[in-house]
């Protein structure tokens, strides 16, 4: 074990782990990426009032509960795989696999949007991208280039996300400052209920405020996850909600635009009317860069989720293979292939499909959160949502009702496509189990630990980290890990050897 710890330390030095600021940036891009795409909330809401209220109310009843639950469970199970581990621990590997399949498929569909949106912003200034002869090679080139950046290392992705977020958000700070002399607060309360399109409104709100749990699939790549996750999620909620509301307050308060004018890309026009052509170009460039950050964050989470599932023995071991940069090569290629295949679909089709699958998965996560509180009260929780079982159940109820409502609003086509994906997952799990039993391909033994030793550091915090290893391995007993936890005497001997 001493050698394993030394090897892990060497790997960590070569492939640095995520610290607080890059993790905040990745959470920001998992969930938001900036106010790009929120314009439809004004149009679908019949004016600014419902859009502004929506981002406050939805944050309270949806974003904050999801972020709190993610913080508790991600710090309790600091492993790649995230919610797959939570569900497996609560309900067994069958449902853990279903959760992973639904969320991965939903994530790949979500990621297919961003190369398309990248070109949609550029075509306003470069009309050549309206033509398929230029658009198709550009889509492939963007996907391949961003996939390669992901391959080069998660720490590079995190650092890039920090720079992209700074560049993407700063023009809205400038626009907000320039708009102050022109703001008329009465324009914020405009709403025409005859023009409200509830299905589009709820889907837009939900899409712009979900995926807080997605970053949990990177938990094994985070430095000191017990503290870092809690702080990063708190900062992420404040950052995301602020940069939805502030640009909306600035643009709707300073301009007398008809709600029908508010569609994707309208913030660029608002920037021109408030600050001039230079601000319009800046916002367009920021939108394009934001879509790059969104792609990178989603790709990282999807790939490391597959890696985590492979380490749990749910997928062949090839999905856990890492490049010299510490990234899961095959998992990245698999996710990138899915993005290319799905990129032909329309924006609204993809949006509804991924929202439906995501909603089904989130209902299972809420159930797992409550069940683990009941059946594993002694599970080590470095961060714990400050409620007992009744309160924990109560905070899950409003977001669960919202999920059911979003699913109720889905079209028949969405029910058919999403239902097909769910049915496919039900058959895929026994097929993989059969392949494992027949030794058709290699799987990581479930008797092996999940790699918690990667969190053990050389300094004096190693003792605390090793305690976390023991607690977490014990908590994962429902996953079929039969590795016995060493007694206190053996643990003391190993720590002495480390010293």
Give percent of the chain with pLDDT exceeding 70: 81
Query: 283: how many CB neighbours lie within 10 A of its CB?
Result: 29
Q: What pTM value is reported for the model?
A: 0.78
The mean pLDDT value of the chain amounts to 80
Task: Give the total number of structural domains in the chain.
Answer: 1
pLDDT of 97 above 90: yes
Say how far apart CA 261 and CA 376 lie, in whole Å. 52
Give percent of the chain with pLDDT exceeding 90: 29
Q: Measured on CA atoms in the order 354, 33, 143, 265, is the torsion positive or negative?
A: positive
pLDDT of 484 above 80: no
pLDDT of 136 above 70: yes
Q: Which pLDDT does position 348 carry in this prediction?
A: 67
Q: What does each C-alpha distance from 282 to 122, 272, 492 come to in angstroms?
A: 12, 10, 58
Say how far apart CA 314 and CA 307 lie, in whole Å. 10
Q: Which pLDDT does position 468 carry in this prediction?
A: 43
For residue 359, the enclosing domain spans: 20-438
Say how far apart CA 148 and CA 176 lie, in whole Å. 36
In-domain check, residue 492: no
Q: What is the CA radius of gyration of the chain?
A: 23
Say how far apart CA 42 and CA 208 lie, in whole Å. 13
Tens of pLDDT, residue by residue over 230-245, are: 889 999 999 999 999 9
Q: What does each C-alpha distance from 152 to 18, 19, 325 come to in angstroms?
A: 14, 17, 6
Take residue 307 and report the two structure tokens written for it. Answer: 């890696």
Say how far apart CA 200 and CA 206 lie, in whole Å. 10
Band (246; pLDDT cuts 50, 70, 90)? very high
Q: Which pLDDT does position 4 carry in this prediction?
A: 38
Q: Which pLDDT does position 1 carry in this prediction?
A: 40
Q: Which of 205-219, 244-258, 292-306, 468-482 has the lowest mean pLDDT?
A: 468-482
In-domain check, residue 378: yes
Say which CATH number the domain at 342 has: 1.20.1740.10
In-domain check, residue 65: yes
Pick the closest to residue 81 from 396, 331, 336 (CA basis): 331
Tens of pLDDT, residue by residue over 430-480, are: 999 999 888 888 888 765 433 333 332 233 333 334 334 433 443 443 344
Q: Which of 301-310, 387-396, 398-407, 468-477 has the lowest mean pLDDT?
A: 468-477
Dihedral through CA 48, CA 53, CA 59, CA 65, nearest 10?
A: -150
pLDDT of 8 above 80: no
Q: Which pLDDT does position 457 carry in this prediction?
A: 29
In-domain check, residue 101: yes
Angle at 64 between CA 63 and CA 65, to 5 degrees: 95
Q: Which pLDDT does position 334 carry in this prediction?
A: 83
Average pLDDT estimate for 381-406: 91
Band (146; pLDDT cuts 50, 70, 90)? confident
Q: Which pLDDT does position 331 carry in this prediction?
A: 84
Band (95; pLDDT cuts 50, 70, 90)? very high
Q: 454 or 158: whose pLDDT is higher? A: 158
Band (333; pLDDT cuts 50, 70, 90)? confident
pLDDT of 302 above 50: yes
In-domain check, residue 74: yes
Q: Which pLDDT does position 474 carry in this prediction?
A: 35
pLDDT of 492 above 60: no
In-domain check, residue 464: no
Pick the closest to residue 468 from 497, 491, 445, 444 (CA basis): 491
Say how far apart CA 371 and CA 312 lie, in whole Å. 21
pLDDT of 390 above 70: yes
- For tokens 């292939």, the residue is 337
Q: Buried (b) or exposed (e) across 29-46, using 16+ Cβ within 10 A?
A: bbbbbbbbbbbbbbbbbb
In-domain check, residue 99: yes
Say how far apart CA 18 and CA 7 lie, in whole Å. 19
192: left (phi over 0), alpha (psi -120 to 50) or beta: beta
In-domain check, residue 130: yes
pLDDT of 12 above 50: no
Q: Which pLDDT does position 452 carry in this prediction?
A: 37
């Amino acid at each position: 074990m001493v050698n394993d710890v030394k090897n892990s330390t060497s790997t960590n030095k070569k492939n640095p782990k995520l610290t607080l600021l890059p993790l905040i940036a990745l959470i920001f891009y998992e969930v938001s990426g900036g106010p790009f795409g929120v314009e439809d909330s004004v149009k679908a809401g019949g004016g600014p009032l419902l859009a502004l209220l929506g981002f406050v109310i939805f944050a309270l009843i949806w974003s904050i509960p999801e972020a709190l639950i993610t913080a508790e469970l991600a710090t309790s199970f600091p492993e790649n795989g995230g919610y797959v581990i939570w569900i497996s621990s609560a309900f067994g590997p069958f449902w853990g696999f279903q959760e992973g399949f639904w969320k991965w498929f939903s994530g790949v569909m979500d990621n297919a949007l961003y190369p398309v949106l990248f070109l949609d912003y550029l075509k306003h200034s470069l009309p050549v991208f309206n033509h398929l002869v230029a658009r198709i090679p550009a889509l492939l080139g963007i996907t391949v280039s961003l996939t390669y950046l992901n391959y080069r290392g998660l720490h590079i992705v995190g650092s890039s996300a920090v720079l992209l977020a700074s560049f993407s958000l700063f023009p809205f700070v400038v626009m907000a400052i320039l708009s102050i002399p022109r703001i008329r607060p009465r324009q914020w309360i405009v709403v025409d209920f005859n023009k409200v399109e509830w299905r589009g409104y709820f889907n837009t709100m939900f899409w712009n405020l979900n995926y807080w749990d997605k970053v949990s699939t990177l938990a094994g790549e985070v430095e000191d996850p017990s503290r870092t996750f809690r702080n990063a999620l708190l900062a992420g909620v404040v950052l995301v909600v602020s940069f939805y509301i502030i640009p909306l307050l600035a643009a709707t308060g300073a301009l007398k635009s008809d709600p029908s004018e508010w569609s994707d890309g309208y913030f660029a026009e608002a920037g021109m009317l408030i600050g001039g052509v230079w601000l319009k170009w800046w916002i367009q460039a920021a939108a394009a860069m934001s879509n790059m950050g969104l792609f990178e964050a989603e790709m990282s989470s999807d790939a490391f989720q597959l890696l985590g599932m492979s380490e749990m023995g749910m997928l062949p071991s090839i999905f856990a293979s890492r490049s010299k940069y510490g990234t899961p090569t095959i998992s990245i290629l698999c996710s990138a292939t899915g993005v290319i295949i799905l990129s032909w679909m329309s924006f609204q089709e993809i949006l509804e499909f991924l929202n439906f699958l995501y909603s089904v998965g989130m209902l299972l996560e809420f159930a797992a959160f409550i069940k683990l509180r009941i059946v594993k009260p002694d599970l080590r929780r470095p961060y714990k949502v400050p409620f007992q079982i009744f309160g924990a159940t109560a905070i899950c109820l409003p977001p669960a009702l919202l999920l059911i409502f979003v699913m109720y609003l889905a079209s028949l086509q969405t029910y058919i496509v999403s239902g097909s994906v769910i049915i496919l997952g039900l058959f895929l799990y026994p097929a993989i189990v059969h392949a494992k039993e027949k030794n058709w391909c290699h799987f990581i033994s479930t008797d092996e630990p999940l790699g918690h030793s990667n969190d053990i550091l050389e300094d004096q915090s190693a003792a605390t980290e090793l305690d976390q290893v023991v607690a977490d391995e014990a908590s994962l007993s429902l996953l079929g890990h039969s590795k016995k936890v060493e007694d206190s005497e053996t643990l003391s001997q190993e720590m002495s050897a480390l010293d």
